[in-house]
Chains A and B, each alone.
Chain A
Amino acid sequence: MNKKTRSLKRVLISILIPVLILSQAACSGKTEADGEFKPRLSTETECSIKVAGNYSNFESLESEFERFYEFYPNVTLNYVNLDDYESTIASALMSDEAPDIFVTGSWMLNDEKKKPVLEKAEVLSDPSLDIDLDCIRKGARWSLENGDVIMLPVFTRSYGMLVNMDIFEKNGLEVPTDYESFIDVCEKLKAAGYEHPIMGANGTTVSGMYYAFGFPLFCDNVLKNPGSVDALNALDSSQGEMMRPALEKLKTFVDAGYLDPKACSDEIEDDYNAVIMRFFEGDVPMMLGSGDTVSGTLKRESKSEAFSAAPFKYRFFVVPTGDDGGYFLDAVNLFFSVNKNSTNLDMTNEFIRFLTSEKELGNMAAIKRLITPTNDFSLDEVYSSLEGFPEDRYFSYQETRLNDNVNKEFRAAAYKVANGIMTVDEAVSAYGSLWE
């Protein structure tokens, strides 16, 4: 099934690809032409703007505050971490001290309970606001059915692997670009004495290794079979077959000893800190994980004695499980929405307008070390492999229209197959009841 057919059926995506391509060109062109941000309000304006979110600490945003102060020195921007964000944000938006900007997530779109929250969100695609939404990468764009954009993607994440470039260089190897070379590289690495060429957290979370290894391949399969989506979402056990290609490749890797779940369990206690610290030991050629894993690397470089003693170069790559290469599954990590009832709406919009540029979003992503929602990956070298990624292997999670249950079922299936709890066949037939 071709891409055009698929796109017709997408519910949330209303922006057409030709327009996308054009606007992408326009985006980059505009960025270059416009260059710097130009204030539209009086730079003397005095007001206070509050951003509410669930991060306990938001240094990358505070860095943007400082940059914004260069234009509006009398504006005060504040970030507030709300306890129990998911439940308190709705109340907060209704209170006297409602935030001007609040963090939103794609999951809110499907959650009835979050309707009151999203109802408060201003339509950012309103042309009068002059917010340059075109600079956002295709896969990171989310809009309402009517085409209105109420959420500005700030960070995105993907799933793949951290590659120790020095090991590859030392052994004269290229980072694999397709399934065949992936097998080949693993074989060579094993031969070179790397007992476990690939490692990761042996768990069922999205940061676990099976999600990064197999889920993008599964999504590709689903996108190629859009008819299966509804049944998959309904946890119809007959749709378990859709998982087979991914599960089989996973099984192959485990059987070949390229990936050892037991060793991973023994050596990697959690799916975040331990993964990074194990990778920094310097003897793991490929470490599976998510963009969140990558975001934790920078701060931990200095915390790892091994890495401090023998630093090495590392990069993020998607896992090349497809015959033609890996899949770039684009998922937005965090959105900003504007409280349309904000008492300082003009300045709030001005801040969003300021933030919505390759430069500022890139800057924030680079500080957080997450993936920028724009096409400019130049600000953080670790994500350089995503620059100019082929269109046919690039998609966003929302394109799959899969709900969270499917996601969980796949993770459980992969975990069980890899750890020998189930065979591939058993897992396929148990679809719908795999998540415990």
Chain B
Amino acid sequence: MKRALIIAVDLVIMGLILFFIIQYANTKMHESNKSMIEAFEKMTTSAEQVITNYLEDEQHLCDIWSNYINRTAEAGNPMTAEEAIAFIRKAKISPSIYGHLIFPDDPSVSGISTHPAMKDSNDYSVSYRKISLFDDLDKIGHEDGGVSLTRAYTNPQNGVQSIAFMNYVTVLDENTGDLKKALLMRVEPVSMLEDKLVFLKGEYESVEISLINKDGDYLVHGKSLKNSNFFEYYKSYNNADIADYNKMIDSVTSGSGTMNMLNSKGEDCVISYTPLRSLDTWFLLAYIPAADLSTNTVVDWLLLGMVTVGLLILLVFNFAVLMVYNKKLSEAAEAANQANEAKSYFLSTMSHDIRTPMNAILGLNEMVLRDCHDEEIVAYSESIRTAGKTLLGLINDILDFSKIEAGKMDIINVDYNFVSLLNDLVNMVQGKAADKGLKLNLDIDRNIPMILNGDEIRIKQIITNILSNAVKYTKEGSITFKAGFERIEGDKDSVKLCISVSDTGIGIKKEDLDRLFVAFERIEEKKNRNIEGTGLGMSIAQSFLAMMGSHMKVESEYGKGSTFSFTLVQGVRDWNPIGNYEETFKRAISERQTYRERFTAPHARLLVVDDTPVNLSVFQSLLKRTKVQIDTAGSGDEGIVLYKQKHYDVIFLDHMMPDKDGIETLKEMKIITDSPNSETPIICLTANAISGIREMYINAGFDDYITKPIDPDRLETLLLQYIPKGKIAPPSDDEEDDYFIPDFIFKIDALDVNSGLIHCGSREAYMATLKMYLEAAPRNAEEIERYWSVRDIKNTTIKVHALKSTSRVIGALKLGDFAAQLEKAGDSGDTETLEKELGELLSQYRELAEELEPLSDIKSNEESDTRPLITEEDMKEAYTAILEFCASYDFDSVVNVVESLDDYRFPEEEATRFEAVKKAVDNFDYDMIPGIISGERDNGQ
């Protein structure tokens, strides 16, 4: 997962946790707020009770006064107004409470007060004429113990805002002697009530308690409620329509409850309201800013903050830990990658390096096939060819696989001839199928366009893989190769190729189908252990198909057979149909003949540049019958020298060479202007067999390329293409090899000369090989004896193995077989046989060497040695270099130096030493070289 994604996921989780906390806290807060509001409402109710009690008490006191006055009247001894006031003056305790006795029916609404007017200390009269207070007088007078209360008004006697509790009394009119109804008022400053309210706040610091009447006019009001009327105040600051306004009035004046509203500052506030009991026209309002009533959320925010910080720390910590682990992991991954790369590099290097000797093997084998007429030998040779090609296939698979793994595999589309592709495939599989007695059925759509565009090599590889597998896993029956195509709607330049291969083989179990395309997996390994393969083929094929936007389908019935199929979109370059391929193929089969060179060109001259002598030798051998003149060069520089000197019809240049590779050599050649070869085609020799290689070499300046191991047919085709037509002649029947083989050789019983010639390719090569065999014999025999003397079975066996191979090469078949027998004994640890037979083997070996001894007298072309004599200085320098390379185990460089010295003639006294060095190199006895050079070791050893 990417770092950013991890952080994002972490943050989302953090967010969710915080979201949950906030939600939870909010819910709790709402619950808490709800309970706060309930508590606030309770406080309001309590306040209402206290106020009601107070008002009732005050009313009660007023009632006591009035009752007393009324009772005296009822008793027939009514008080006058003056007497009544005098009684009240005595009865009341608080100086701030006034008693007013008013005659409301009097036009001046006047009466007597317990206190004189402030303005005149002698004036006890009081008038309510200018104060409208008695609009609802009918409601006053009550036996029910209710409260008769005025609004807040200004006490005319002292100018103090007051409220008055009222009751009717009956007094005596002094003037008329009649009983008269008067209103007794217990007048109290509003501040007294306000003082009571102060104690009702309870736990609420900022609560303000107000009392309003049914019209909304305040009796008392707090600091925050403005206007003289609460309803007007509500209207002024709350954008309410008439309906809301009326609803609010209705709510407030009809029961208890709580409402939210905005105050004059636009702040949210809560008003709890309840009617005062016993006074149905008065209502208590408890005002508090909403913020003061909300739960104190500080703790929640603190908690939230702490959790956030904690989570962030956790995130950072985890991330840091993760980074450390990631670093370690990436180091491990890097190491693994490096190991894998090293493996891939090793595999590709190995496969490349194996291809080079394979060139020799297959090339020389081709010679055998061409030159030998002994059917048995030809059959062996065919086996070599088959095995070699199988090996080459395995190597190619490894090479491809390592490239796919390294991501270096590209799909390179080229135009190709579909028939040619079919030819290659069918040729490849036909032989194999026929060998196993399988019938190869072809079902090729004759309308498939002739020239397609795609990665021909990869397609061929995929189908080859499927076909090879089909042959491998089918014991009897047939293999059907079907090729068809579909047109693609809306795309006139492409077709969809449909390829399928069906067999009547062992089939695949359903459970194994998934493993089919896994690298190195081999299905039913035990059962199929004798079937060769790396287990890479199908994996590679599937990878290639994936790279080309397709995939392989498999249908299989275990025990009955399988069908592998795929489709592939290919560009079309030539819509001409390929025609009836099956017919063409059948004809070709019947006309197939043994190898015959397709032309001769005795006047044509080629230059081949390759650093590997055996490749040069194979190249020459392959073209021997064409009689083409071939010059060889062992390095780029050598090639350039020849390039300047002589005219060539075609130049073959190896790509991978030490010091100066093929491409560098080519570049240098192209710069040379006065060369006779400025028009000569230069063809690349390469062991790289990957798609796109042609383009690469063409771009590099080559005219064409040919892969190693060299396909003789392709080589001849190339030459036919590039050698001037005038120099091409029909093939000749002259097959004579006129190299001299001394008669005594033919007379040696232990030697089968023919077999030796086949193995060595030519008489000349045979003679050279015999000489080398002879020269190595004494030392080899001695070494075998020495190893055996200390019972070093391993090395003894290795030496015997070498003796087997070399003996068979020169045609000493019996000796070879004898050695093979003892090698087998050595491998199986059969010391008894070795003890018994080894002496005999060595004796036969030495005997043969003795018989070959006359060869040492034949000096091969030494007299005509025209090579320049090496200077003493150069020789010393070369030896020093060889010693240094030996010391650093750089044996490749040793070989290079020794090979370069081969271009020089050595003075006689040094020739023997140099030959000894060469021999040691040939025998891979590098450890002996320092001794030979220093003269400690006998040159002959």
Instruction: State the A residues within 8 Å of B (CB).
Output: 56-57, 59, 62-63, 65-66, 76-78, 80-85, 87-98, 116
Contacts and interface: CB of A to CB of B under 8 A. Distances in A.
Contacts of B160: 91-92, 95-97
Interface stretch (B221-229, B289-297, B345-353, B578-586): B221-229
Contacts of A65: 226
The 6 closest A-B pairs by CB, nearest first: A92-B159, A91-B159, A84-B130, A91-B118, A83-B154, A83-B131
Contacts of B154: 82-85, 88, 92
Given A56-B228, A84-B156, 7 more contacts: A62-B226, A66-B264, A76-B223, A88-B159, A92-B160, A94-B158, A97-B191
A91 B156 contact: yes
Given A92-B159, A94-B119, A95-B159, A87 B130 contact: yes
A303 to B, nearest CB: 12
Contacts of B130: 83-84, 87
Contact of B232 (A57, A66, A88, A94): A57
A84 B153 CA distance: 10
Given A62-B264, A80-B161, A83-B131, A94 B156 contact: no
B227 A57 contact: yes
B265 interface: yes
Contact of B161 (A66, A85, A97): A97
Contacts of A77: 223
Contacts of B223: 76-78
A82 B264 contact: no
B100 to A, nearest CB: 14
Nearest to B228: A57
Contacts, number: 73
B contact residues, range: 20 to 34
Contacts of A96: 96, 160
Interface string B101-138: 00000000000000001110000000000110000000
A178 to B, nearest CB: 42
Given A62-B226, A66-B264, A91 B153 contact: no
Central interface residue in B130, B228, B229, by most chain A CB within 10 Å: B228
A114 to B, nearest CB: 11
A62 B264 CA distance: 9
8 contacts: A57-B232, A62-B226, A78-B223, A83-B153, A91-B155, A92-B159, A94-B118, A97-B161
Contacts of B264: 62-63, 66
A60 to B, nearest CB: 11
A178 B53 CA distance: 69
Nearest to B153: A83
Contact of A89 (B131, B153, B159, B191): B159
Given A83-B130, A90-B119, A94-B118, A57 B156 contact: no
B157 interface: yes
B236 interface: yes
Contacts of B158: 91-92, 94-95
Contacts of A84: 130-131, 154, 156
B189 interface: yes
A338 to B, nearest CB: 17
Given A83-B130, A116-B119, A59 B227 contact: yes
Contacts of B153: 83
A82 B162 CA distance: 10
B228 A93 contact: no
Nearest to A102: B159
B229 A59 contact: no
Most interface-central of A56, A96, A97 (chain B CB within 10 A): A97
Interface of B: 96, 117-119, 130-131, 153-161, 189, 191, 223, 226-229, 232, 236, 264-265
A67 B154 CA distance: 28
A337 to B, nearest CB: 15
A244 B265 CA distance: 54
A82 B226 contact: no
A87 B156 contact: yes
Given A57-B228, A83-B130, A88 B156 contact: yes
Given A57-B229, A84-B130, A93-B159, A66 B189 contact: no
> Which of A63, A77, A82, A83 neighbours the largest number of chain B CB atoms within 10 Å of its CB?
A83
Contacts of A59: 226-227, 236
A208 B124 CA distance: 41
Nearest to B223: A76
A83 to B, nearest CB: 4
B117 A91 contact: yes
Contacts of A85: 154
Contact of B157 (A56, A76, A91, A116): A91
A62 B96 CA distance: 29
Nearest to A94: B118
B228 A90 contact: no
A91 B223 CA distance: 25
A211 B153 CA distance: 35
A90 B117 CA distance: 10
A78 B155 CA distance: 18
A36 B295 CA distance: 37
Nearest to B159: A92
Nearest to A55: B228
A378 B153 CA distance: 38
Nearest to A99: B159
B224 to A, nearest CB: 10
A57 B225 CA distance: 12
A49 to B, nearest CB: 11
Most buried by A among B96, B153, B156, B160: B160
A66 B226 CA distance: 10
A82 B159 contact: yes
Nearest to A66: B264
A63 B264 CA distance: 8
Given A83-B153, A84-B131, A95 B228 contact: no
Contacts of A116: 119
A65 B227 CA distance: 12
A76 B96 CA distance: 23
Nearest to A93: B159
B113 to A, nearest CB: 12
A96 B97 CA distance: 12
Contacts of B229: 57
A90 B265 contact: no
A96 B159 CA distance: 10
A89 B159 CA distance: 6
A81 B117 CA distance: 20
B223 to A, nearest CB: 5
Nearest to A113: B119
A92 B153 CA distance: 12
Contacts of B236: 59
Contacts of A90: 118-119, 159
A62 B218 CA distance: 15
Contacts of B265: 66
B478 to A, nearest CB: 102
Nearest to B158: A95
B704 to A, nearest CB: 97
- Of B157, B159, B161, most buried by chain A (CB within 10 Å of CB) is B159
A62 B118 contact: no
Nearest to A58: B228
Nearest to B162: A97
A116 B158 CA distance: 14
A91 B189 CA distance: 14
With most chain A CB atoms within 10 A of its CB, the pick from B119, B161, B223, B226 is: B161
A81 B227 CA distance: 11
Nearest to B265: A66
A206 B928 CA distance: 143
B240 to A, nearest CB: 14
